[in-house]
Structure 1
């Protein structure tokens, strides 16, 4: 079921499915698996380029080489701008700590070294945003087998996707929109629709 929340189309499974990242189990595999980089906007590319000198030393030699050749992003086969990748899979901004794959951009931000966090598409995962040519935005829950431990943990905690991703949703759409989303969910539950 698709719900309109202030002109943003939201798949109802974002309200009903449970999710909570479990880095201890998955080791950050979502930054490594896949066939393209993370979707980015032109503004985000500018933010990434501004942070590049700060994170350069955390990037692998192969990642540095890719960035030297093609930049921090490229257009994938679907025509979307995405972060550059190494060897057909690893995001160039992956770095490793204690056996876990982390985002060099996010780590630098958390250390107070940059003002750019990471692409919003990464922060919103497992929600994927789709923009249509008419300007309509749709939010869908992307189920991926590498996140099965996150689903298990989310179920244990009783944590719906939209609650787990409150911070990124507020960052992307604003507090007012998120509050309306929560109101819509409450109304749908009261009516027994979800």
Structure 2
């Protein structure tokens, strides 16, 4: 573990390799699991604001869930998460003609239709942020559905923290990420990664 400001970072974030391979996984991380994606309280309003922009992209089942319970709910662990369809699919998932799952919010963002990218927890995956009072913990989350991303990351030698540069900056800021890169260089010199 290393610490930058009030953030404790697992060495796995530096050691492990990861590079999404949508051709292999088809976006399975958005459609598997036992709860929706973690959502920060201030993101709820952003999800509600973007809803009219993405509404036509959503499945009839997703629309029914949103109309009944909204865009988020509190899961069994007490965490605020995106609403899900049939116990697994995020309500914001959509599919292309190849059966690949994608995020309707990210699609709208990339098309210039909104200024919200998607929940930061989605953007940060496979990193999960834990909240421990005055400290945040940055941990690498291992999940079988991401085996292809691990293999591609190893092949291309892309550490998790480099793959997630943009969302890490979004979450913690540019100066924090520059410090993270400095820490990584120091860990390399010490042969710890």
Name the TM tier (shorter chain): over 0.9
Query: How far apart, in 1, do the equivalents of 2:3 and 2:165 lie?
Result: 18
Secondary structure of the residue aligned to 1:18 is coil
Does residue 185 of structure 2 align to residue 186 of structure 1? yes
Query: How far apart, in 2, do the equivalents of 1:178 and 1:156 lie?
Result: 24
| Match in the other structure for 2:130 | 130
1:188 Cα deviation from its structure 2 partner = 1.2
Query: How far apart, in 1, do the equivalents of 2:42 and 2:6 lie?
Result: 23
CA RMSD after TM alignment: 0.7
User: Matches of residues 28-177 of structure 1 in structure 2 within 5 Å?
Assistant: 28-97=27-96, 98-132=98-132, 134-177=133-176
Question: TM-score, normalising length from structure 1?
Answer: 0.98
* Deviation sequence 1:71-95 (CA, Å, 0-9, x none): 0000000000000000000000000
| Match in the other structure for 2:5 | 6
1:193 Cα deviation from its structure 2 partner = 2.3
* Deviation sequence 1:157-188 (CA, Å, 0-9, x none): 00000000000000110010000000011011
Query: How far apart, in 2, do the equivalents of 1:42 and 1:128 lie?
Result: 16
Structure 2 stretches lacking a partner, 5+ long: none
Work out whether residues 8 and 137 of structure 2, in 8 Å CA contact, stay in contact via their aligned partners in 1.
Answer: yes
Secondary structure of the residue aligned to 2:18 is coil
Structure 1 stretches lacking a partner, 5+ long: none
3-12 or 100-109, which moves further after superposition? Answer: 3-12
Question: TM-score, normalising length from structure 2?
Answer: 0.98
1:122 Cα deviation from its structure 2 partner = 0.3
